[in-house]
Structure 1
Amino acid sequence: MGQFENFYITTPIYYVNDKPHIGHAYTSLICDVTARFMKLAGKSVRFTTGTDEHGQKVEKAAKAKGMQPKEFTDEVSVSFRKLAELMNFQYGDFIRTTEERHKKAVIALWNRLEERKQIYLDSYSGWYSVRDEAFYQESELIDGKAPTGAEVEWVKEESYFFRLSNWQNKLLELYENQLNFIFPESRKNEVVSFVKSGLTDLSISRTSFNWGIKVPGNHKHVIYVWVDALTNYLTSVGFPNTEDEKYKRFLETDNSFNVHVIGKDILRFHAIYWPAILLAADLPLPKQIAVHGWWLNEGEKISKSLGSIIDPTGLAQEFGVDQLRYFLLREGSFGQDGNFSKKNMISRINSELANNIGNLVQRTISFLHKQCSGIVPAVDRNLLKSDESLPNCKAILDQVMDHLLKYEFNHIILLITNISSEANAYIDKSAPWTLSRTDRERMNLVIYKLLEYIRIIGTLLQPIIPKSAEMILDQLQIPREKRDLKSLCKTCVSLGVTLTKPTPIFLRFDVREEK
């Protein structure tokens, strides 16, 4: 896998004008699973998320509820923390842009840009979308609206500008020279095309509202919400203290890899504005911007107005957290839009989790109890080596890591379910119930091999469905320190230990109950 020891992965910080939906859960899930795999691989990992709490949209949303902006953001920010807790996301830092440490980072970044003559005061006139918190050129409008479908308004006010146009060629060099800086390739092509069409300087302050971080030395201006929000990636590693151990480890060392995972709707901010700002401020760049697609609801675009928003909390409560995690990773193909369907979700849970993996664990350990009183039998190691080969752990691990670096979680899951299918087929082929009467030594070997299959499956499932994988490995009594990826090819199920009776891990769902 990648030649790095330190791994820094971030979600975008989520805008708090409304409660979290399936898109927020999916982005965080991608980061969580990747971070967990990296930890299991022995990397030093930092995973951050948080909430973006400034801007005109938040100010309007708070006013509509008759609340002060800070009171409103305190309330909504909690809902994102609760979602992260419910979905079992193991983030290391949750950043709120209303925190003092973040304000210091934003002001320090502004000052760096100003010192380097990258900011100037002028006046702005043009089309602005409050919903997107974004400026659009006339040529980008479609039927008088933003490309996203958002309403736009003509804005004319004094503004500070960032000299974005100065960095056009440097950005194109970056895209060309830094392998997979924008991933997947289709998104890179989109960005390159936009940058080649010509960049204009970016308005980075507003005077028509108050809810935000004030421009140093000119408090009638509020710093543009995207400059504010993007800075969170620096805040989390201790900026403006560039001597901070986290900053040095995750941004400055040669053996570090840092990636921003985002949805395709915020590509321009992350792949154009953010690297240009970092280049202008002489600060380290991310190694990658990884861009995933959107989720459709039964083939239709998710829309708040149409009532088709998918609530991850309700789904997790109905089907289980691990089941939801599994489905989103199994059904989604990174970079493309995914289609959410309850029918498909139930089908995946039943066929792949309950009937395949769950059944393998249940029938193997039940048979162990029936024939060996639950005691893992002694086997001849030489016989084990000369018998049909177990899964090749080294080859599996190489494949998993190759898929992981391309965010191909559906391929990783397919690899795991195929191992389980092989194990179930091995049971049927070996017929240990017949061997129990004719060849006990051979029966013991079959049981042990099946336990090894399950250990491999349980180990690889840990980042994907953590609690269920833990149940599997607990039933095998695998020591916690031997559940990492380095142990995958070295550890074996201990001989002679008594395993507890199997506990069902995955419940089946009745499709007929769902409309």
Structure 2
Amino acid sequence: MAEPYYITTAISYPNGKPHIGHAYEAIAADVIARFKRLQGRDVRFQTGTDEHGLKMAQKARDLGIEPKQLADEMSQHFIDMCHALNVRYDVFMRTTEPRHHEASQELWRRMEASGDLYLDRYEGWYSVRDEAYYDESELTGGEGEERLSPHGTPVEWTVEESWFFRLSKYADLLLALYRDHPEFIQPDSRRNEVMRFVEGGLRDLSVSRTSFDWGVKVPGSDEHVMYVWVDALTNYLTGLGFPDESDEFSKWWPADLHLIGKDIVRFHTVYWPAFLMSAGLALPKQVFGHGFLLNRGQKESKSLGNVTDPLDLAERFGVDTLRYFLMREVAFGQDGSYSPEAIVTRANAELANSFGNLVQRVCSMIFKNLDGQLTAFTRTEADEALLAAVQSGCSQLANEFEALNFSAGIEAWMKAVFACNAYIDEQAPWALKKTDPERMGAVLLCLFMAIRDLTIAISPVVPAAAAKVLDQLGVPAGERDLVALGDAGWYEHRVATGEPLGQPSPAFPRLELPVEEG
């Protein structure tokens, strides 16, 4: 029986349409999910939208509509984004669903049963944009200047009755978690930040609001709605059927990976594990906080007029091209930059010129010079060396992807692609056609084997283009996993079928540099 793997993205706040950051996280999670499936894991991939909170209520009021109408309209944009970017989720969780209210209220009851909730009065700084509370020491500005959160968002002084969670009770348990399980928060820089925050002391957390009613009702206190982060984080349980802790729940929980942006690491690595400890539930195995994508080195903002619609990029350059660029260009976990020029340059150099051209040349020569026939052939030392280099590149890609080092994994894969191109130049099958046709055939068929493995290895990143190439190679759908890499048995079976290779069509077309807008 396949080992389960449960991965989640952060659920997106749908008070605006998806931006490039949402696309980046969704694509990265999809790459991980597809990679795990190639390893033979039984994968469950969940994403969704976080539809409650003051920010949504205010946006709906500004538009003159009900919050639920806004949530329905905007969440569809995130569903559409996933479909357009070939993000193959298993569950799309919306926090306005009745089952989610039930799950959130059950988590609340369990925290209450642990003695971790009490009623008091909250006075302090709150950022509507972040949906977060901040200590005075964390703010910037003052003496007549606008007070801002650590993320540069406006804060307002808030006074209201509130339920509090005894977060302070969990400081030592959290620090022990970070020390004993350094893999829990990744990358290391994020873990160090969180440890410093917790070591500085934890205050109890306000976990309900009375100043608006767009949210999950607090059990037994209908005038209170839950703090949006209690509700939002619970989505990871709701999608598994909680509070029904059936075999399905036991199979998938705890989550293997919460993939999130670095700006919400505190919620996932301080509040969330404390809530789960209080409720007597297992903790997720890992939280990974990725970096931000910058537009030509600048953070996107509406005021700068540089906000990018990821679907425009996908339509302009191709879905697989965008997916490849985002995983290749940026060291995962760090901030990175993108521009149309960078996308075109990277895609042409690697996908079109190096790999795409290799596939097209080899398949075309097999079609023209061998009538598309695949036959058994005797390998030389040079052939064995090439196949070993390809096997090494694919193995390194798998090892790096396992550690979420996508750019390093693709770099290793590219070295194997370069080895194939060097081999074809050295062996010169076009010259062998005249002097040694048998050797020409061996060279082309050796490259055919290499291309098949390289295509499977990169398929989590460029699934549509990889499927097109594998279809052209005649690789059965059930034989496109990492287990089969380096196994010559599939090739012998392919030869035995006698099915010829058809005329190939390019899977990775060259792109044109965008025209400068004057």
TM-score normalised to the size of structure 1? 0.96
1:390 maps to 387
Indicate if the aligned counterparts of 1:298 and 1:341 stay in contact, CA closer than 8 A. yes
Choose which of 213, 220, 244 in structure 1 pairs with 2:223: 220
Task: Give the Cα separation in 2 of the matches to 1:245 and 1:177.
Answer: 29
Indicate if the aligned counterparts of 1:215 and 1:222 stay in contact, CA closer than 8 A. yes
Task: Give the Cα separation in 1 of the matches to 2:9 and 2:384.
Answer: 47
Deviations 1:215-259 (A, max 9, x none): 1111110100000000001111111011x222111226xxxx611
The structural deviation recorded for 1:308 is 1.5
Choose which of 468, 487, 494 in structure 2 pairs with 1:471: 468
The structural deviation recorded for 1:443 is 1.1
Percentage of identical aligned residues: 48
Choose which of 310, 313, 330 in structure 2 pairs with 1:312: 310
Indicate if the aligned counterparts of 2:124 and 2:159 stay in contact, CA closer than 8 A. yes
The structural deviation recorded for 1:390 is 1.1
Task: Give the Cα separation in 2 of the matches to 1:461 and 1:368.
Answer: 23
* Residues 468/186 of structure 1: CA separation in 2 closer, same or farther (3 Å cut): same
Matched to 2:251, the amino acid is R
Task: Give the Cα separation in 2 of the matches to 1:511 and 1:35.
Answer: 32
Find the residue that maps to 2:387 and give its secondary structure. coil
2:19 maps to 21
2:341 maps to 343
2:197 maps to 194
Task: Give the Cα separation in 2 of the matches to 1:497 and 1:439.
Answer: 24
Choose which of 491, 506, 509 in structure 2 pairs with 1:507: 509
2:297 maps to 299
* Residues 158/266 of structure 1: CA separation in 2 closer, same or farther (3 Å cut): same
1:360 maps to 358
Task: Give the Cα separation in 2 of the matches to 1:222 and 1:392.
Answer: 59
* Residues 12/390 of structure 1: CA separation in 2 closer, same or farther (3 Å cut): same
* Residues 388/13 of structure 1: CA separation in 2 closer, same or farther (3 Å cut): closer
1:203 maps to 206
Matched to 1:176, the amino acid is R
Task: Give the Cα separation in 2 of the matches to 1:348 and 1:385.
Answer: 30
- In the TM superposition, 1:444-455 aligns within 5 A as 444-455=441-452
Matched to 1:296, the amino acid is L
1:69 maps to 67
Choose which of 149, 157, 167 in structure 1 pairs with 2:160: 157
The structural deviation recorded for 1:5 is 2.2
Deviations 1:313-351 (A, max 9, x none): 100111110011011111111111010111110001111
Q: Structure 1 stretch 313-322 or stretch 430-439: which is displaced more? A: 430-439
* Residues 301/112 of structure 1: CA separation in 2 closer, same or farther (3 Å cut): same
Find the residue that maps to 1:105 and give its secondary structure. helix
Task: Give the Cα separation in 2 of the matches to 1:82 and 1:288.
Answer: 28
- In the TM superposition, 1:373-384 aligns within 5 A as 373-380=371-378
- In the TM superposition, 1:5-404 aligns within 5 A as 5-143=3-141, 144-242=147-245, 244-251=246-253, 258-380=256-378, 387-391=384-388, 395-404=392-401
Find the residue that maps to 2:244 and give its secondary structure. coil
Task: Give the Cα separation in 1 of the matches to 2:291 and 2:421.
Answer: 35
Matched to 2:418, the amino acid is S
Task: Give the Cα separation in 2 of the matches to 1:89 and 1:316.
Answer: 13
Indicate if the aligned counterparts of 1:52 and 1:97 stay in contact, CA closer than 8 A. yes
Q: Structure 1 stretch 122-131 or stretch 495-504: which is displaced more? A: 495-504
2:144 maps to none
Task: Give the Cα separation in 2 of the matches to 1:398 and 1:286.
Answer: 27
Matched to 2:402, the amino acid is L
Task: Give the Cα separation in 2 of the matches to 1:337 and 1:195.
Answer: 24
Indicate if the aligned counterparts of 2:390 and 2:454 stay in contact, CA closer than 8 A. no
Deviations 1:357-388 (A, max 9, x none): 110011111111221112223313x6589754
Indicate if the aligned counterparts of 1:391 and 1:453 stay in contact, CA closer than 8 A. no
Choose which of 475, 497, 500 in structure 1 pairs with 2:499: 497
Task: Give the Cα separation in 1 of the matches to 2:375 and 2:108.
Answer: 67
The structural deviation recorded for 1:461 is 1.6
Q: Structure 1 stretch 5-14 or stretch 302-311: which is displaced more? A: 302-311
The structural deviation recorded for 1:444 is 1.2
The structural deviation recorded for 1:179 is 3.1
Task: Give the Cα separation in 2 of the matches to 1:98 and 1:145.
Answer: 30
Task: Give the Cα separation in 1 of the matches to 2:196 and 2:502.
Answer: 60
Matched to 2:279, the amino acid is A
Matched to 1:73, the amino acid is A
Matched to 2:326, the amino acid is L
Indicate if the aligned counterparts of 1:343 and 1:514 stay in contact, CA closer than 8 A. no
The structural deviation recorded for 1:281 is 1.0
The structural deviation recorded for 1:406 is 2.0
The structural deviation recorded for 1:214 is 0.7
* Residues 157/500 of structure 1: CA separation in 2 closer, same or farther (3 Å cut): same
Name the count of aligned residue pairs.
506
Find the residue that maps to 2:482 and give its secondary structure. coil
* Residues 430/334 of structure 1: CA separation in 2 closer, same or farther (3 Å cut): same
The structural deviation recorded for 1:123 is 0.5
